[in-house]
Structure 1
Amino acid sequence: MSNEKQVDSGRRGLLVATCAAGGVVGVSTAGVLVSTFQPSERAKAAGAPVEVDISDVKPGEMKVVEWRGKPVWILRRTPEMLATLEKDSAELADPNSEKEYQLPTPEYARNPFRARQEHKDVLVAVGICSHLGCSPSSRLASGPQPNLPDNWPGGFLCPCHGSTFDLSARVFKNKPAPTNMDVPPYMYLSDNKIVIGKDEKGEA
């Protein structure tokens, strides 16, 4: 194995482990707060659906939980964030989520928001880059930032090889990542509680 591959593998493992630990991230903060949601060890091992309370996720914040050993992002987008999602379609590699990564995109997520219409402000996505499996970092605020274009609309940056994704976890054109990040099956149990890994068609 080359030194580059060893570095990539180590970095990827650290990023995935860190992001899967759980927390809430805000637009204007780089810190992570420990999540109150912790799935049972049995649920983790079995890859069973997990229930998540999202009442503590304010507009502009993102909560990270674990499902099947992977970080799942729950981002509650502001009206300003939602407004960018239909404007940047021409710059995206797959704006309609026609290509699959590891999971088929649910029909209810085949829209610019990649979310259920009744809760289109909430994105639920598996936070794994489709290039080499790293976990991108959140760059939710718009505007000039290090390693990003001056017209950055807000989204995610993979630190391994520079793939960028919008606020619906869709990859921009001419990036190493070949597809958008996955949207897992999920459904609402109430306005403030969702279950990941299961929807009306059954478990993933």
Structure 2
Amino acid sequence: MSNDGVDNGKRRFLTLATSAVGAVGAVGVAVPFVKSWNPSAKAQAAGAPVEVSLDKLEVGQMVKVEWRGKPVFVVKRSDSVIEALKNTKHDLKDPTSEKFPEQQPAYVDKDVRSVRPDVLVLVGICTHLGCVPQHQKETEVDWGGGFFCPCHGSRFDLAGRVFSGVPASKNLEVPPYSYTSDSSIMIGVDEGAA
């Protein structure tokens, strides 16, 4: 076979042009694919720390915020509630969180399950089947107040500790948190890292 009449310059040009168009097309397809591996803005926001102001939180009041798609309860406790927490230990399954230490960071006080005794921070998900417990003030119920799960009747005191004789086996979880000032906390940031 003869190569007479074949323009080798034209052949090289067409080969290079086709290769260049193919490379641009491959990059055009790869960029969106690689970008899809990055978390969305919504996903990044869902895992971000949440700041809660304690300025307007009155004694006995609870505020609910969302962190990582979970409800988090922030409760302002009175001195009488803090004192009463010491007297309910005999009614609880795990009064000092010894059975499940992963339910709270190491820097919280085991008796009141918080950094400061007057402010309680808990993940508001029942440890039985994942329902959201309701806040019950100590003046509203005869068992000292705390949290009542309407799904199956589990009760937790105002430190999030589970009572004996209910379906839930673990205390409510204490999320990582730290104080950014006397009147503000950051949920999702460990106290040691703040």
| Cα offsets for 1:27-71 (capped at 9, x unmatched) | xxxxxxxxxxxxx956543x1211111111011111110100011
CA distance in 2, matches of 1:120, 1:95: 16
Is 1:120 matched with 2:117?
Answer: yes
State the AA in 2 paired with 1:58: E
- Kindly indicate whether residue 166 of structure 2 is the aligned counterpart of residue 175 of structure 1: yes
Match of 2:27 in 1: none
Identity of aligned residues (%): 47
What secondary structure is seen at the aligned counterpart in 2 of 1:188? strand
Superposed CA RMSD in Å reads 2.0
* Matching residue's letter, 1:107: A
Shift of 1:202: 3.9
Retained in 2: the 8 A contact 1:43–1:50? no
In the TM superposition, what are the counterparts of 1:130-149 in structure 2 within 5 Å?
130-142=127-139, 145=141
TM-score with structure 2 setting the length: 0.73
SS at match of 1:108: coil
Structure whose alpha-carbon radius of gyration is higher: 2
Of 133, 150, 162 in structure 2, the residue corresponding to residue 159 of structure 1 is 150
What residue number does 1:20 align with?
none
> Cα distance, 1:114 vs. partner?
0.5
Structure 2, unmatched stretches of 5+, are 1-40
Q: Read off the aligned partner of 2:88 and give its amino acid letter.
A: D
Return the alpha-carbon distance in structure 2 between the equivalents of residues 167 and 85 of structure 1: 7
Provide the aligned length of Structure 1 versus Structure 2.
154
